[in-house]
């Protein structure tokens, strides 16, 4: 008789420029943590990367996860839930194995409200692990009784940043950055306006903006024009590996997160900034107030208020004690979202 493994994970898995989305990073971090805890031989990975090229292989590997693993975890993105929720529902019905749905992003409540059939499937799972407390409330209002609060998480470096030691020269221009997919809804253009407005307020080139992330195909032409128009201020720095977020952000004065993306959840890029002790200036959107505590680990500005964001950036530059206090808050926040601090809740619920 084949000995069952601890868990089968159905999700995107890999390293490289194609694996830098919130889904890919979260899957990689979860799988890495489980492999460290139980050993690689105890964790089966059903990789859904480009699964449409070979759907039969996906079905076979998913069946193996249900047959040969004690627990099945699924981590689909918004488009994938239409396939993977029915697949895992069927697998649970046929084998009796527990299914744990680890949600990525903040879109699930709206989706299930519009798709009652999918809600019935998700309600049958053993756990639906959502990134924010507000999402728990949303799903409970829809009648789900299996929701669990499980915020996003990030592995931190063994060498902790020191709040008093600044990783840059305080003389201008200071570098700030965005670190997300490069698409309009992530607020890229607002970020440029914020930096330009801050420089105008101070009367000189106090800040420059670096933009990181994979460029959405539909945004490539427009983004190229934006770069050409703002080449005095902005530089595109390409795509970093999924595990390089904190290391990359260490050298920046601040992270701008001007997103108004509809599916935003517990943003991993903010966790990267916490791990780097890099203060964040974020748009007041969706669930951001569960992550960023205004004046403690960053600043929240009114929805898409570029002037207010620019004023906060200038305030950080002019007040060293405030800046160091925010760095201390980031370091404390990073400790709260280490994988071992977050995932123990999921671990306890697995068979």
Q: What is the CATH number of the domain that holds 222?
A: 3.40.50.2000
Question: What's the total number of domains in the chain?
Answer: 2
Clarify whether residues 272 and 329 are in a common domain. yes
Q: Are residues 23 and 137 in the same domain?
A: yes
Question: Residue 167's pLDDT is what?
Answer: 64
Low-confidence ranges of the chain (pLDDT < 50): none
In a domain, 315, yes or no: yes
The angle, 0 to 180 degrees and rounded to 10, between the axes of the packed helices 55-68 and 81-95 is 40
Residue 37 forms part of a structural domain: yes
Question: Would 169 be classed as within a structural domain?
Answer: no
Q: What is the pLDDT of residues 102-160, one digit of tens each?
A: 999 999 999 999 999 999 999 999 999 999 999 999 999 999 999 999 999 998 876 66
Q: Are residues 63 and 17 in the same domain?
A: yes
User: How far is residue 215's CA from residue 160's CA, in Å, rounded to a whole number?
Assistant: 31
The answer to whether position 159 is within a domain reads no
- pTM of structure: 0.91
The answer to whether residues 189 and 59 belong to one domain is: no
188 & 331 share domain: yes
Chain segment 231-261, per-residue pLDDT in tens: 999 999 999 988 899 999 999 999 999 999 9
What pLDDT does 169 receive? 61
Alpha helices in 96-187 (DSSP H): 108-114, 116-123, 133-141
> How many angstroms separate the CA atoms of 195 and 206, rounded?
9
Statement to judge: residues 91 and 223 lie in one domain: no
Shared domain for 129 and 236, answered yes or no, is no
- Does some domain include residue 162? no
d(C-alpha 191, C-alpha 257), whole Å: 8
Q: Assess whether 215 and 265 both reside in one domain.
A: yes
Q: The domain containing residue 241 runs over which residues? A: 174-336
Cα 239 to Cα 182, 190, 242, 243, 294, distances in angstroms? 10, 20, 9, 11, 29
- Judge if 256 and 331 occupy the same domain: yes
Give how far Cα 310 sits from Cα of 41, 246, 281, Å.
50, 24, 9
Do 325 and 276 share a structural domain? yes
Domain end position, chosen among 134, 150, 166: 150
Burial 181-198 (b: 16+ CB within 10 A, else e): bbbbebbbebbbbbbbbb
Please report the pLDDT score of residue 250 as a whole number.
93
**The total number of residues written for the chain in this structure:** 351
Q: Is the domain of 227 the same as that of 314?
A: yes
Is residue 272 in a domain?
Answer: yes
Asked if the structure places residue 155 within a domain, the reply is no
Which pLDDT score, from 0 to 100, does residue 2 have?
66
102 assigned to some structural domain: yes
């Amino acid at each position: 008789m084949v000995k069952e493994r601890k868990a089968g994970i159905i999700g995107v898995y890999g390293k490289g420029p194609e694996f830098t989305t919130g889904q890919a990073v979260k899957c990689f971090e979860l799988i890495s943590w489980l492999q460290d805890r139980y050993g690689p031989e105890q964790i089966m990975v059903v990789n859904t990367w480009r699964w449409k090229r070979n759907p039969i292989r996906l079905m076979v590997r998913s069946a193996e996860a249900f047959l040969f693993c004690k627990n099945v975890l699924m981590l689909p993105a918004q488009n994938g839930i239409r396939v993977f929720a029915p697949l895992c529902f069927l697998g649970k019905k046929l084998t009796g194995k527990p299914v744990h749905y680890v949600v990525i992003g903040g879109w699930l409540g709206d989706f299930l409200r519009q798709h009652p059939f999918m809600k019935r499937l998700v309600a049958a799972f053993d756990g639906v692990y959502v990134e924010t407390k507000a999402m728990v409330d949303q799903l409970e209002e829809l009648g789900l009784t299996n929701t669990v609060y499980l915020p996003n998480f990030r592995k931190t470096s063994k060498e902790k940043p020191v709040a008093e030691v600044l990783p840059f020269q305080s003389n201008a221009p200071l570098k700030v950055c965005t670190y997300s997919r490069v698409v309009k809804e992530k607020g890229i253009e607002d970020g440029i306006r914020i930096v330009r407005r801050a420089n105008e307020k101070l009367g000189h080139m106090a800040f420059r903006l670096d933009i990181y992330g994979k460029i959405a195909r539909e945004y490539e032409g427009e983004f190229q024009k934006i770069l050409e128009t703002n080449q005095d201020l902005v530089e595109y720095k390409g795509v970093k590996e999924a595990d390089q977020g904190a290391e990359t952000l260490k050298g920046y004065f601040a992270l701008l997160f001007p997103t108004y993306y509809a599916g935003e959840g517990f943003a991993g890029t903010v966790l990267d900034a916490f791990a780097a002790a890099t203060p964040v200036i974020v748009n007041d959107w969706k669930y951001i107030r569960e992550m960023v505590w205004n004046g403690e680990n960053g600043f929240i500005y009114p929805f898409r208020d570029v002037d207010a964001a620019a004023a906060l950036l200038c305030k950080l530059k002019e007040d060293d004690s405030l800046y160091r206090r925010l760095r201390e808050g980031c370091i404390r926040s990073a400790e709260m979202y280490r994988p071992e601090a977050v995932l123990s809740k999921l671990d306890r619920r697995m068979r």
